[in-house]
Amino acid sequence: MRTTYLLRAVAPLGGEPVDVLLADGVIAAMGPDAAARAGDDAVVVDGAGLVLLPGLVDLHTHLREPGREDAETVLTGTRAAALGGFTAVHAMANTTPTQDTAGVVEQVWRLGRDAGWVDVHPVGAVSVGLDGEHLAELGAMAASAARVRVFSDDGKCVSDPVLMRRALEYTKAFDGVVSQHSQEPRLTVGAQMHEGVVSAEIGLAGWPAVAEEAIIARDVLLAEHVGSRLHVCHLSTAGSVEIIRWAKSRGIDVTAEVTPHHLMLTDEEARGYDPVFKVNPPLRTAADVEAVRAGLADGTIDIVATDHAPHPREDKDCEWAAAAFGMTGLETALSVVQEAMVDTGRMTWADVARVLSTTPAAIGRVEDQGRPIAVGEPANLTLVNPSVRRTVVPEEQGTASANSPFGGRELPGAVVATFLRGRATVLDSRAQDDPDGSQRAAGREASA
């Protein structure tokens, strides 16, 4: 028997409070009907003051399995995702072995299904072993059980324009999209942080904005020439926002993402030489932060994606130059977006639903996520309390790694509950462990 939930007086997209009944994996009723139809055994959630959002969808997560289970596994990473309010994640391809064949993407997809915390959509590599030279079997990954639609060599740039052109051409056949990590490799040899005043003062090799912008400019022109769609990963500079704005005004089919950390943090953080702030692309200037916030608010930037990049202690607790690039983000993303965009009056909760759920689902061609909050829709939902503040303690998070750049900071908002097809993966802000997997199995049957 599956649990039903009566959410009392929750505010869909921050609007008027209403009762919502979740039963049999779907939104069964809304309004006065909901309480009337709830049975005596329904679990009642007091939702006064809480915002109900469609379950969040991340287009850019590193789950690290297979190969770096010391940093994260599909199980720990997807539990972290559920705690962050996500109901689906796209798992990046830079695993070991690389997610460049139907076999490997199916393995990751199965691990995600068996874990049951969120839906896992593996990203397929563009090139074999991310070698940047040989096109991977994109069609076989698309046709596999994992139904791959997003392809990326993320971590590395598809810098060869001929390979990029071929990938853009091939993905058209199955409505896929190439998600580019825009980093001109020759302009960033040995780069450690944003190239600017701070890098000059503290003596770290710079990663110039033009290394990102040159690739984005090239790729939007290639996408126009080939007539295919393009997605730009973790855009980080004011110039990149300008190029995307221009491309969209020309009718080029391009979408772009920004990470929570690029919406909040600047290169000033590097002054303490703490590698927790070392990331690709690097934290930029305050002017860049303002530009990406403006770009997200006006729709030039389509989505927020976490680029959750867990690393074990030994790869981060070392000198800056030796440390790995990347920071965790699944469990702070919504709070950072609230602080940077909602509490500043630049976006509404409906906008948050668009940039963290509806549009990422659309870009990834995920049909049962990012849906309207309406009767009959699958109950993939997130319940948020925007009125609380909490201090981030990386060691207490669900992720297996502690490299959060927000450790020790106070952020607004908390995920109270996450529902995946009507089943609570998170309730009272706690992960709902289900050791025998019975509820998860029930959820799967209902969704099949």
Ligand X SMILES: NC(=O)N[C@@H](CC(=O)O)C(=O)O
Nearer to ligand X, 98 or 171 (CB): 98
Q: Does 307 bind Zn ion (CB under 5 A)?
A: yes
Q: Closest distance between ligand X and the C-beta of residue 279, in Å?
A: 4
Q: Closest distance between ligand X and the C-beta of residue 121, in Å?
A: 17
Nearer to ligand X, 44 or 318 (CB): 318
Beta bridge partners of 53: 382
Which alpha helices (H) appear in 321-437, and where do they start and end?
A: 333-337, 349-353, 359-363
- CA of 298: how far to CAs of 204, 223, 245, in Å? 34, 23, 10
**In a 3-state reduction of DSSP, which class is residue 63?**
coil
**In a 3-state reduction of DSSP, which class is residue 436?**
coil
Q: Does 154 bind Zn ion (CB under 5 A)?
A: yes
Q: Closest distance between ligand X and the C-beta of residue 87, in Å?
A: 22
The active-site residue, picked from 302, 307, 315, 351, is 307
The tokens 């993303």 sit on which residue?
333
Q: Closest distance between ligand X and the C-beta of residue 249, in Å?
A: 28
Instruction: Sketch the per residue contact string, 131 through 160, with ligand X: x for CB under 6 A, - otherwise.
Output: -----------------------xx-----
Instruction: Tell me which of 181, 229, 371, 421 binds Zn ion, using CB under 5 A.
Output: 181
Cα(412)–Cα(320) distance, integer angstroms: 30
Q: Closest distance between ligand X and the C-beta of residue 97, in Å?
A: 15
Region 321-360 residues binding ligand X, contact defined as CB under 6 A: 325-326
- Active-site residue flag, 40: no
Which residues lie closer than 8 Å to 102 by C-beta, 6 or more apart? 137, 140, 141, 143, 144, 146
- The token pair at 68 is 């770096």
Segment interacting with Zn ion, rule: CB under 5 A, options 12-20, 127-135, 175-183, 389-397: 175-183
Nearer to ligand X, 183 or 380 (CB): 183
- The token pair at 64 is 């690290």
Q: Does 279 bind ligand X (CB under 6 A)?
A: yes
Q: Does 124 bind ligand X (CB under 6 A)?
A: no
Q: What are phi and psi of 406, to 5 degrees?
A: -105, 10
Give the H or E element holding residue 213: helix 209-226
Helix axes 286-297, 238-249, angle to 10 degrees: 30
Nearer to ligand X, 92 or 414 (CB): 92
Cα(184)–Cα(191) distance, integer angstroms: 11
Q: Does 421 bind ligand X (CB under 6 A)?
A: no
Q: What are phi and psi of 63, to 5 degrees?
A: -95, -15
Return the one option of ligand X, Zn ion, none that residue 353 interacts with (CB less than 5 to 8 A, by type): none
Nearer to ligand X, 215 or 279 (CB): 279
Which residues lie closer than 8 Å to 131 by C-beta, 6 or more apart? none
Cα(114)–Cα(330) distance, integer angstroms: 20
Instruction: Sketch the per residue contact string, 293 through 322, with ligand X: x for CB under 6 A, - otherwise.
Output: --------------x-x-------------
- The token pair at 420 is 């995946």
Q: Does 94 bind ligand X (CB under 6 A)?
A: yes
Residues that bind Zn ion (CB under 5 A): 154, 181, 307
| Residue numbers at the binding site for ligand X (CB under 6 A) | 62, 94, 154-155, 181, 279-280, 307, 309, 325-326
Would you please indicate which residues are annotated as catalytic (active-site) residues? 307
